[in-house]
Amino acid sequence: MGILKGFSKLFAPSPQAKLSLVVKKNELYFGDELNGSLNISSQEELDVDEISVSLRCIETVTKVRRYQESIEVEDFEGNPRQQLVWKEKEYDDWKTLFSGHKKIVSFVHLTVGYNANFPFVFKLPITGRETYHSVDKNLTWSLTAFMKAKSRKTLLAQGGGEIMVAKPTVLATPTKEVVREVVLIPCAYCSGLMPQTAIFCPNCGARRKA
């Protein structure tokens, strides 16, 4: 029964609906909140089991796979023969480093012309891997919306643009200014005030008495 249900879902029509993701800010630091909204519109009546949004951080690494392949070559006498040769093929290997899930609505009936916006918030982890792109390695943060409706294929939609996540800048602690108090004492000869650490009086020039 489960296999038949899976096949029927596979050949089911796509829902006549649209999911649109928008975020307030695309550049964030770890520990920030990602604020956005999901617009849901429908051009037909649908019984929806769930509509949700997920935030994922995926690292993609380009790797090389070596394999052997049999090819036809000619020997010294010109006769064909099979020879094994090594070949290389690039492929992408990926893994999920972070995944967050927000359920927007569940068990709702959408009517023709339905249109509504729903806000959502994701709290980014305190630490993690920053967004980066290189020739053989990429790390991306992305949003995906899901709609699961009865007798329909699961509707997927990505949006929000490219989300850039970085580590917060650590500012150096400013150097504290050291304030030293200067004690003034009277000169034994002219009674003028002079610093306690001075050897000669700045007023009369006399040597300070010990």
The mean pLDDT value for 172-199 works out to 67
Is the pTM above the cut of 0.75? no
Q: What is the pLDDT of residue 174?
A: 59
pLDDT for res 147 = 97
90-142 pLDDT, tens per residue? 999 999 999 999 999 999 999 999 999 999 999 999 998 899 988 889 999 99
Task: Determine the Cα–Cα distance for residues 122 and 22; give it in Å rounded to an integer.
Answer: 13
- For the CA atoms of the chain, what is the radius of gyration? 36
Digit-coded pLDDT (tens) for 47-70: 999 999 999 999 999 999 998 999
Average pLDDT, the chain: 86
User: What is the percentage of the chain residues whose pLDDT exceeds 70?
Assistant: 84
pLDDT tens for 139-169 read 999 999 999 999 999 999 999 888 999 998 7
CA distance 200 to 171: 46
